[in-house]
Amino acid sequence: MSEMNLEQMTETYYDVLKEIGNIGAGNATTALASMLQCKVDMKVPQVRLLDFKDVGSEIGGEEQIVVGVYLAVEGDITGSIMFLLPVDAARHLVEKLMGMQMSGDTFGEMEISAIKEIGNIITGAYLNSLSMMTNLKILPSIPSLSIDMAGAILSVPAIEFGTMGDNILMIETQFTDDMEMNGYFILVPDIESYEKILSSLGIG
Amino acid sequence: MADIVKVGMADLKVCKAPDGLTTLGLGSCVGVAVRDPSTKVGGLAHVMLPDSTTISQNGNKMKFADTGIQLLVEEMIKLGANKSRLVAKIAGGAQMFAMQNKSDLVQVGKRNVDACKKKLAELKIPILAEDTGNNYGRTVIYYPETGDFVIKAVGKNERTI
């Protein structure tokens, strides 16, 4: 087991994540625009290192209902990634993608697979940019989806970060088509993979 | 006017009735609620990981079932609780995502619940009720006055255990 911890790694890793976030969000925006067949803008992503206790308020409170898409990552690095979207933004994207209004408040089978697809595209775009920058092979699993309280969904990556320290690293991206949407992206490589990522970029 | 004290992730708090304790959006973490029915001293821990001994970054005692529950009981005793009278209720430990083939970490909800039960048994604190497992998040509110442990989940009726 490595002696490094997340806080020590953070400064360099921050910059790396920011760059990955930038390129990834750019790719994701392009993919989203072609999928939705409309113009999508994005702002420069914000990378944040948060204390566990602040994670919930960062995305609008622990009880805010969000959609979480979670994938395991294998290949040269192992870990997991998560993409989070407030439920109203998810509904907006689904309606846009399917070209119709959702009948009720709940997501049916069709809507859920649409959301998974959106999650797939967005996380795929991030992973592609990470893979290209590092020359590491990164294979995502099939996405798994949960619609629940933000605190509960974030407990999953928080626990993974919890094995390394007391913070969670989060990339916030704002997408806009005709609605402003905040998407949150969380990449959790296991500790050996952190070092692989950094050393493949020549900064390990 | 009674206060409801908020407990964050990997955090714990103690109080005296009529005050209460709450933690919002428990997922795979476990909320461990303990009280002394006689002095009405209560405590709530938001446990994140099962075992401090397997992790090198274990400075935050509140994060783990073993050290967190230990600390919770110590804090309660400072506030006037008697260890031999303590009783517990637990909630949480959900599996939020249905991943088929994944590592231990995905099963962490169940492992957290098991670890909390083990630690409570070791401290000889009986578990009066639990609402654990499944695949949804829970907000909990604990009232040391009555021992009521109120559980809220999205799209479900509020219940008290």
The span from the CA of A72 to the CA of A82, in Å, is: 9
Domain that holds residue B150: 4-160
Portion 62-121 of B in contact with A at CB < 8 A: 63, 94, 96-99, 101-102, 105, 108
Rg (Cα) of chain B, in Å, rounded?
A: 15
Give B98's contacts in chain A (Cβ within 8 Å): 144
In order along its 161 residues, chain B shows pLDDT tens digits of 689 999 999 999 999 999 999 999 999 999 999 999 999 999 999 999 999 888 777 788 999 999 999 999 999 999 999 999 999 999 999 999 876 445 555 588 999 999 999 999 999 999 999 999 999 999 999 999 999 999 999 988 999 99
Number of domains in chain B: 1
The DSSP letter of residue B64 is B
The three-point CA angle B47-B53-B56 to 5° equals 95
Give the per-residue pLDDT at A45: 77
Specify the pairing of strand B87-92 against strand B127-132.
Answer: parallel
- Detail the DSSP E strand segments found in A40-143: 41-42, 46-51, 65-75, 79-86, 138-140
Give B8's contacts in chain A (Cβ within 8 Å): 52-53, 56
CATH of the domain at B121: 3.30.1330.200
Please state the rounded mean pLDDT for residues A9-36.
76
Domain boundaries, chain A: 6-200
More confident residue, A148 or A7: A148
Give the per-residue pLDDT at A134: 83
Give percent above pLDDT 70 in chain A: 90
Query: CATH 3.40.1550.10: does it fit domain A6-200?
Result: yes
pLDDT in tens, A99-130: 877 766 677 888 888 888 888 888 888 888 88
Give the per-residue pLDDT at B100: 47
ipTM of the prediction: 0.89
